[in-house]
């Protein structure tokens, strides 16, 4: 019997290979992509249930036992993120049918999306630190293609910066893994944790922890390493922006979350305090930038940076509330950021402008679009009972519990700035004189709204039924708080 945890990696990998043979048959590509993503989603949901019933699932590749071979590990955190990533990818693919254009569809667009998902799901699932690097590279290579597909001038210009940053980051990743291996003599993440516990994190391991923070901070876009993100994410079309904004930065955040709770938890005085400071600076600068721009795409992009700061602040607190809030918030943000990018894509298609001051009264022509956008903005800002509220409340509470009143207040105030930055779009662009905009029959707004509304409904349910969801979040947090559970599952010893 095939182990469930490998299927969210194998299914998109096989699908991508199959799609390469149907490069010019767009209808077939669409059907295969949709069926594959739905199958991956169902498998991911079954995996969550299995972990809930039976605990952490592991698979030793090639029958080599851990720590000697490559091990895949799926705990509740991993399974929840794999499920969310697959759901977002499904929404973006359905949206792409009516927006991405046949020019891009003819150049292996759907196959590359599947390869991207292989990298994302693999990074969430691997139990080997070098294998995480491998899945990062799969994800990044797919993102390079998605960034340039279509060949517009801005895409080609931004791709150079994006590739240079990520190649540098990847080189530093390998160097850091090499340093770590030279000290602990293993690449298995559970075994690394066990070895570090034996030596109690000497100074050199603190240096390695900072190097990992730089590597994953570049990929996750925390201060001061987010300089590459606004331009790179601005260049591609809406569904690709949604994939990038929802998934790629979250892989970097997940990596910080996993390494800082599994490896570097013995001496948190410097590493986690530094992470907390950088997180607060990320939130402050991201918020300032979000309210400074009138460009809708840039506003949402800078709100990605705000969310990254909020999540990493929860990680830095290293208590149950902080880690639970970080898990809650990362799932919420993956869904709601995808929604906002998709909705902004629709608005731009209708109005032909990225500046919300260039149109008014749009809600008179497209009321469903307007109210969906309104709900998504409230959810992003963390207005109760929507999905952003619980995570941000837990993270702020963790700050107060550790005595960091300033940090907790910044986290709470960021909600107001996020709300203000995007509510301007609603008040200026959707309200007002209906003659400031018009219907565009050639834009398939109804069909484009289906995946966006579907994801919005998921986000609403995630907030309203947060008490039921917390059962799963608490399981994820328990493993993060107690690494021995992870070690026991992988190595079979305490």
Residues 204/183, Cβ–Cβ less than 8 Å: yes
Cα–Cα distance for residue pair 259/254, rounded to 1 Å: 9
Cα distance between residue 239 and residue 243, in whole Å: 6
Instruction: Compute how many other C-beta atoms are within 10 angstroms of the C-beta atom of residue 54.
Output: 8
Residue 201 has what pLDDT?
65
pLDDT of residue 1: 47
Q: Give the chain's residues under pLDDT 70.
A: 1-2, 151, 200-201, 493-494
Backbone angles phi, psi at 73, to 5 degrees: -130, 125
CB neighbourhood size of 145 (10 A):
17
CA distance 191 to 60: 14
Using alpha carbons, select from 376, 356, 352 the residue that is nearest to residue 295: 356
Contact indicator for 317, 218 with CB cutoff of 8 Å: no
Which residue in the block uniquely carries the two structure tokens 């606004």? Answer: 230
Question: Where does residue 425 rank: exposed (0-12), middle (13-18), buried (19+ CB within 10 A)?
Answer: buried
CA dihedral 134, 135, 139, 142 (to 10 degrees): 60
3-state helix, strand, coil in the chain (%, to 5): 80, 5, 15
User: Is 125:205 a contact under the CB 8 Å cutoff?
Assistant: no
Does a cis peptide bond (omega within 30 degrees of 0) precede residue 224? yes
Contact of 344 with 350, CB cutoff 8 Å: no
Q: Tokens 């050639």 label which residue?
A: 442
The torsion defined by the Cα of 325, 326, 327 and 331, in degrees rounded to 10, comes to 100
Residue 390: its pLDDT value, please? 87
pLDDT of residue 493: 56
Q: Containing H/E element for 36?
A: helix 26-54
List the one residue out of 118, 100, 101, 103 whose CA is nearest residue 37. 118
The whole-number pLDDT of residue 397 equals 92
87-146, pLDDT tens digit by residue? 999 999 999 988 888 878 888 889 999 999 999 999 999 989 999 999 999 999 999 888
Domain coordinates of the chain in residue numbers?
6-491
Neighbours of 117 (CB within 10 A): 32
DSSP 275-312: HHHHHHHHHHHHHHHHHH--BHHHHHHHHHHHHHHHHH
pTM of structure: 0.92
Residue 304 is encoded by which pair of tokens?
Answer: 């990605």
Contacts of 484 (CB under 8 A, 6+ apart): 494
Over residues 142-185, the pLDDT tens digits come to 998 888 887 678 878 888 888 888 888 889 999 999 989 888 88
Residue whose C-alpha is closest to residue 312's, from 229, 395, 201, 387: 395
């Amino acid at each position: 019997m095939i182990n469930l945890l490998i299927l969210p990696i194998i299914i998109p990998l096989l699908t991508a290979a199959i799609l390469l043979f149907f490069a010019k048959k767009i209808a077939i590509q669409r059907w295969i992509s949709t069926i594959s993503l739905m199958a991956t989603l169902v498998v991911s949901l079954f995996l969550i249930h299995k972990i809930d019933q039976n605990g952490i699932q592991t698979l030793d590749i090639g029958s080599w036992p851990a720590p000697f071979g490559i091990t895949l590990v799926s705990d509740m955190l991993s399974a929840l993120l794999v499920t969310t990533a697959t759901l977002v990818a499904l929404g973006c693919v359905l949206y792409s049918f009516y927006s991405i254009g046949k020019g891009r569809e003819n150049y292996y667009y759907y196959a590359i999306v599947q390869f991207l998902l292989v990298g994302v799901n693999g990074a969430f699932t691997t139990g080997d630190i070098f294998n995480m690097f491998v899945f990062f590279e799969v994800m990044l290579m797919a993102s390079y293609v998605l960034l340039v597909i279509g060949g517009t001038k801005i895409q080609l210009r931004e791709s150079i910066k994006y590739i240079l940053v990520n190649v540098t980051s990847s080189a530093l990743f390998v160097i850091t893994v090499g340093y770590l291996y030279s000290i602990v003599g293993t690449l298995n993440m559970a075994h690394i944790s066990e070895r570090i516990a034996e030596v109690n994190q000497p100074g050199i391991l603190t240096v390695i922890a900072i190097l990992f923070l730089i590597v994953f901070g570049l990929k996750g876009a925390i201060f001061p390493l987010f300089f590459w993100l606004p331009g790179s994410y601005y260049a591609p079309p809406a569904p690709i922006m949604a994939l990038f904004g929802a998934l790629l930065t979250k892989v970097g955040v997940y990596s910080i979350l996993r390494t800082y709770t599994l490896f570097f938890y013995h001496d948190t005085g410097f590493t986690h305090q530094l992470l907390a400071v950088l997180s607060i600076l990320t939130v402050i600068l991201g918020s300032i930038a979000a309210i400074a721009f009138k460009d809708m795409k840039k506003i949402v992009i800078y709100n990605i940076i705000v969310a990254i700061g909020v999540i990493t602040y929860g990680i830095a607190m290293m208590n149950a509330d902080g880690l639970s809030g970080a898990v809650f918030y990362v799932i919420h943000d993956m869904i709601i950021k995808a929604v906002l990018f998709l909705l902004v894509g629709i608005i731009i298609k209708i109005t032909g402008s990225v500046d919300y001051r260039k149109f008014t009264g749009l809600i008179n022509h497209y009321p469903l679009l307007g109210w969906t956008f309104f709900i998504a903005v409230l959810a992003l800002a963390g207005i109760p009972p929507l999905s952003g509220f619980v995570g941000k409340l837990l993270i702020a509470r963790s700050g107060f519990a550790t005595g960091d009143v300033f940090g907790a207040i910044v986290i709470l105030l960021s909600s107001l700035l996020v709300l203000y930055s995007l509510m301007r779009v609603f008040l200026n662009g959707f309200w007002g004189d209906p003659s400031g905009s018009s219907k565009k029959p050639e834009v398939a707004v109804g069909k484009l709204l289906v995946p966006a509304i579907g994801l919005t409904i998921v986000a609403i349910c995630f907030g309203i039924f947060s008490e039921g969801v917390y059962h799963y979040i608490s399981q994820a947090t328990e493993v993060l708080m107690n690494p021995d559970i992870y070690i026991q599952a992988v190595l079979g010893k305490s």
